[in-house]
Amino acid sequence: MSRIPISGTHLSLGCLLISLIAVNGLVGKGMHQSSSHQRNLETNSATGTVGSFPFLMPKVSPQTPDLYLCTPIKVDPTTTYYIVGFNPNATMNTAHHMLLYGCGEPGTTRTTWNCGEMNRATDEDSASPCGPHSSSQIIYAWARDAQKLDLPPGVGFKVGKDSQIKYLVLQVHYAHIDKFKDGSTDDSGVFLDYTEEPRKKLAGTLLLGTDGAIPAMKTEHMETACEINENKVLHPFAYRVHTHGLGKVVSGYRVRSNSDGEQEWLQLGKRDPLTPQMFYNASSTAPIVEGDTIAVRCTMESTRNRVTKVGPTNEDEMCNFYLMYYVDRGETLDMKFCFSQGAPYYYWSNPDTGLHNIPHIEASTL
């Protein structure tokens, strides 16, 4: 296949770019046509059975370092599907990370595009993963040779007819391109396990992250916190952390005030981000309810003689915590993302956060 002429890199806020899913037997007649709108997620399997759909990059050959590349598929609008598992088809030697977005509309009608999240409006080669006036949420994320993820029994991500998710968009971050200089191609992606059998427990993913900067030769805490202000009961079951090379530990907590007005911090997950960046079982599956706060800290240790800013490239940093949860009834959170300004502007200890009784959290406590 000819090389894809895409140039330039743009900031991806919190590594938020996502791609669409495909499963054997679910692809419409237009799957192999050039227009992304012709690639459909359909099914010919009996209701209740689980199928597997390969949602992969269409043999691309990236020629720009730190390129974020997206490809979409359209979900069959006449059927509601439930995604129940994710089996990655990628290695960290090729893909820095992958994200899977659920969109109302894709960012463009192209088969592939440069999908840096914050791109210049005048750059014709770039677009966001989802359309500018479209619903957008992260469904799944992968990095560092993470293994397969199966959702708990009875839990699924709803897509298609009765969902705001009409398209799936796959994003792959290609940090290094040396292996493509000879014209080699890549089909990194994820095999999606899906079913038409309704799931009473609907899955959602909440991404928490920060902006900010890390001083030279210093240890810095990148922190964020968001209150749950929707009348829903969340059952956390998995979490995933993400930083680049300076991350030492990433921790997430449910914060709730007791009857004495003291805030109690319950750990949801804590991980060295330089281990496989897969979804791990949550440290606590205790429900999260309206009025609770979810707080995240990334401990960063810099040995660089320069400031390191949050950004999309391998020379930048990120502080991300993905919380996967399900609800027993109704729909998942309207809130999909939660970001702070990060250091040196935002800390848990700032007077206006309302947080207190903050635990002492260091990398050495892993």
Two tokens, residue 101: 């977005």
**Catalytic residue from among 10, 222, 242, 278:** 242
Residue 203: C-alpha distances to residues 87, 88, 105, 194, 328 (Å): 17, 19, 20, 13, 9
Q: Is residue 364 part of a domain?
A: no
Q: Clarify whether 133 is annotated catalytic.
A: no
- pLDDT confidence of residue 121: 37
- The pLDDT score that the predictor gives to residue 359 is 84
Report the CATH number at residue 265. Answer: 2.60.120.230
Cis peptide before 344 (omega within 30 of 0): yes
Which residue, 199, 215, 233, sits at the end of a domain?
A: 199
Say yes or no: 238 and 127 in one domain: no
Q: Is residue 37 part of a domain?
A: no
List all residues 6 or more positions away from 155 whose beta carbon is below 8 Å from its beta carbon.
84, 199, 201, 202, 203, 237, 326
What's the confidence (pLDDT) of residue 278? 84
- What integer pLDDT is reported at residue 366 of this predicted model? 43
97 annotated as ligand-binding: yes
Please report the pLDDT score of residue 7 as a whole number: 26
Please, are residues 87 and 57 in contact by the beta-carbon 8 Å criterion? Answer: no
73 and 195 housed in the same domain: yes
* Rounded Cα gap, residues 147 and 149, in angstroms: 7
Q: Which domain, by its residues, includes 119?
A: 51-199
275 within some domain: yes
Q: Are residues 183 and 214 in the same domain?
A: no
32 labeled part of a ligand binding site: no
> 238 lies in a domain?
yes
Say if residue 173 carries a ligand binding annotation: yes
What are the pLDDT tens digits along the chain (366 aa)?
222 222 222 222 222 222 333 332 222 222 333 333 335 555 444 446 899 999 999 999 998 888 999 999 999 999 999 999 999 998 888 888 899 999 999 999 899 999 975 443 334 468 999 998 899 999 998 887 878 999 999 999 999 999 999 999 999 999 888 889 899 999 999 999 999 999 999 999 999 999 999 999 999 999 999 999 999 999 999 999 999 999 999 999 999 999 999 999 999 999 999 888 789 999 999 999 999 999 999 999 999 999 999 998 888 999 999 999 999 999 999 999 999 999 999 999 999 999 999 987 654 444
Choose, from 221, 244, 300, 324, the residue flagged as catalytic: 244
6 assigned to some structural domain: no
In this structure, is residue 26 part of a structural domain? no
Active-site residue flag, 176: no
Q: In the chain, how many domains are there?
A: 2
Q: Are residues 57 and 195 in the same domain?
A: yes
Active-site residue flag, 360: no
Catalytic residue among 97, 98, 278, 324: 97
Query: Both 246 and 195 in a single domain?
Result: no
Residues 314 and 218 in one domain: yes
Does 244 appear as a known binding residue?
Answer: yes
CA–CA distance, 334 with 110 (Å, rounded to integer): 28
- Does one domain contain both 218 and 277? yes
Based on the domain organization, do 156 and 173 belong to the same domain?
yes
- For 15-70, the pLDDT digits (tens) are 222 233 333 222 222 233 333 333 555 544 444 689 999 999 999 999 888 899 99
37 is in an annotated binding site: no
Please report the pLDDT score of residue 362 as a whole number.
54
Q: Is the pTM here over 0.85, yes or no?
A: no
Distance CA 366, CA 363 (A): 6
- Mark whether 60 and 99 lie in a shared domain: yes
Asked if residue 242 belongs to a known ligand binding site, the reply is yes
Residues 176 and 267 both lie in one domain = no
Closest by Cα among 198, 171, 215, 222 to 60: 171
Task: Assess if residue 119 is contained within a domain.
Answer: yes
The confidence score (pLDDT) of residue 25 equals: 26
- Return the HEC string of 248-292: EEEEEEEEEECCCCCEEEEEEEEECCCCCECCEECCCCCCECCCC
Instruction: With respect to residue 16, please indicate whether it lies within any of the assigned structural domains.
Output: no
- Within this chain, do residues 161 and 227 fall inside the same structural domain, yes or no? no
Catalytic residue among 57, 98, 137, 171: 171
Examine the domain organization and report whether 72 and 127 are in the same domain: yes
Q: Of these residues, 10, 57, 96, 137, which one is catalytic?
A: 96
Q: Is 66 left (phi over 0), alpha (psi -120 to 50) or beta?
A: left
